[in-house]
Amino acid sequence: MQAAYIEQYGKEDNLTLGRQPIPEILDNQVLIKVHASAVNPVDWMVRNGVFKEHNVHTLPLILGWDAAGEIAQIGSAVTHFALGQAVYAYTSIVKQGAYAQYIAVDADLVASKPRTLNFEQSAAVPLAATTAWQALTKAGELNAGDKILIHNASGGVGMFAVQIAKALGAYVIGTASKASEPFVQSLGVDEFIDYQQHDFTEKVSELDFVLVAVGGDNIVERSLNVVKKEGYLISLLDKISDSLAKSHQVNYHRLWVTPDRDDLNAIAKLIDSGDVKVIIDSSYPLSDIKLAHQRSQSKRAKGKIVVRIPHDK
Ligand SMILES: NC(=O)c1ccc[n+]([C@@H]2O[C@H](COP(=O)([O-])OP(=O)(O)OC[C@H]3O[C@@H](n4cnc5c(N)ncnc54)[C@H](OP(=O)(O)O)[C@@H]3O)[C@@H](O)[C@H]2O)c1
């Protein structure tokens, strides 16, 4: 099968487009014929070797852990899928990825794709939307009427977080640069803060929830000053010490997203009901995977970057 993979860690030039064997499935797995995948920042972090010392991956490594496609083969212990069923998945990041024509995935990670989306749009959802969902409903608890600040409302995760927070009935404040304001407004924020023009600590206070979907600038630490006591501060990247958060009486967690089919089902419902829309920043054929990585590394994407997987050869 065609796939994009690395044989050594490093820059995007290490991404090779070539042939790899179609994976063999285990009894508890399904084989997905992948029509689209997506790029998340973790893809190029893994490519750069972020987990190299932990020996979690085997080279050559196919990157990309979002998949949308059709069930092409079903393991003997799997009962709830049909051949040809349209599915999507956030697949295990310690295994081979989905920049490929086929991927073997544990069946309990796979869900029916949202009915109202095509494969490209569906591939944009799993990892980023699951992160937003787990941040707002599991790491923290966002309730109707709560006030939430979302740092980086314009990226893949932020796009979903803003809309999920609105669907949960929250008052949403989002940050991004001026150039991203129309995009973030279109997601339905109640307030927008241009982080290049304004210090958010002078604009907001006494918030119920802060989601930090960006790194740097001591944003996590500074956010402690705008969360009210017993409120939530969830970071997706940078860490602060638990004792510092405790001294502010804030519920702080550094979230690591985990694949979860129930979450994908909940997210598909929000999408099919029209509460959450999926916006594609850019779409690349698998052959342009290096460009797709460059776009993600620019940290300027508005919405999601998707990768189309051809099946004509
Ligand atoms: N812990 C986890 O499990 C987990 C899971 C998923 C993602 N993440 C992390 O979460 C972060 C967001 O992921 P993503 O997929 O949403 O990234 P992304 O799509 O690459 O984010 C791009 C966006 O970042 C915005 N941005 C850049 N600097 C900013 C700043 N200082 N303040 C506010 N916005 C800023 C840009 O807006 P402007 O162009 O307007 O600046 C751009 O729209 C990444 O660091 C990723 O590694 C962690």
Q: What's the chain's Rg over C-alpha atoms?
A: 19
Q: Report which ligand 1 atom has the smallest distance to the Cα of 216.
A: 31
Q: Is the pTM of this model over 0.95?
A: yes
Residue 245 beta carbon below 6 angstroms from any ligand 1 atom: no
266: left (phi over 0), alpha (psi -120 to 50) or beta: alpha
- Structural domain count of the chain: 2
Q: Residues 88, 126: contact at Cβ < 8 Å?
A: yes
CA pair distance 87, 119, nearest whole angstrom: 9
What's 148's domain CATH number? 3.40.50.720
Q: Residues 2, 286: contact at Cβ < 8 Å?
A: yes
For residue 313, is pLDDT > 90? no
- Mean pLDDT, rounded, for 161-167: 99
Domain with 221 in it: 128-254
Residue 262, domain member (yes or no): no
Find all residues with CB under 8 Å of 76, minimum gap 6, and list them.
27
Find all residues with CB under 8 Å of 132, minimum gap 6, and list them.
157, 158, 160, 161, 164, 211
In terms of domains, do 115 and 139 share one? no
What's 45's domain CATH number? 3.90.180.10
In terms of domains, do 9 and 20 share one? yes
Residue 25, domain member (yes or no): yes
Residue 161 beta carbon below 6 angstroms from any ligand 1 atom: no
Residue 184 beta carbon below 6 angstroms from any ligand 1 atom: no
For residue 273, is pLDDT > 90? yes
For residue 280, is pLDDT > 80? yes
Residue 255 beta carbon below 6 angstroms from any ligand 1 atom: yes
Torsion of CA 294, 300, 304, 305, to 10 degrees: -20
Residue 75 beta carbon below 6 angstroms from any ligand 1 atom: no
Condensed to tens digits (0 to 9), the pLDDT of residues 57-104 reads 999 999 999 999 999 999 999 999 999 999 999 999 999 999 999 999
Residue 223 beta carbon below 6 angstroms from any ligand 1 atom: no
User: What's the pLDDT at 55?
Assistant: 86
User: What's the pLDDT at 161?
Assistant: 99
In terms of domains, do 238 and 145 share one? yes
Q: Report which ligand 1 atom has the smallest distance to the Cα of 281.
A: 19
Atom 33, ligand 1: which residue's CA is nearest?
152
Residue 302 beta carbon below 6 angstroms from any ligand 1 atom: yes
Condensed to tens digits (0 to 9), the pLDDT of residues 222-253 reads 999 999 999 999 999 999 999 999 999 999 99
Instruction: Name the band, by pLDDT with cuts 50, 70 and 90, for residue 312.
Output: confident
Residue 195 beta carbon below 6 angstroms from any ligand 1 atom: yes
Identify which of 256, 192, 190, 250 has the alpha carbon closest to the alpha carbon of residue 223.
250
In terms of domains, do 117 and 140 share one? no
User: What's the pLDDT at 310?
Assistant: 97
Atom 42, ligand 1: which residue's CA is nearest?
300
In terms of domains, do 44 and 77 share one? yes
Q: Report which ligand 1 atom has the smallest distance to the Cα of 45.
A: 47
In terms of domains, do 291 and 247 share one? no
Q: What is the mean pLDDT of the chain?
A: 98
In terms of domains, do 15 and 99 share one? yes
For residue 175, is pLDDT > 80? yes
Residue 192, domain member (yes or no): yes
Residue 297, domain member (yes or no): yes
- Mean pLDDT, rounded, for 285-304: 98
Give, for 272, the enclosing helix (H) or strand (E). Answer: helix 261-272
Residue 265, domain member (yes or no): no
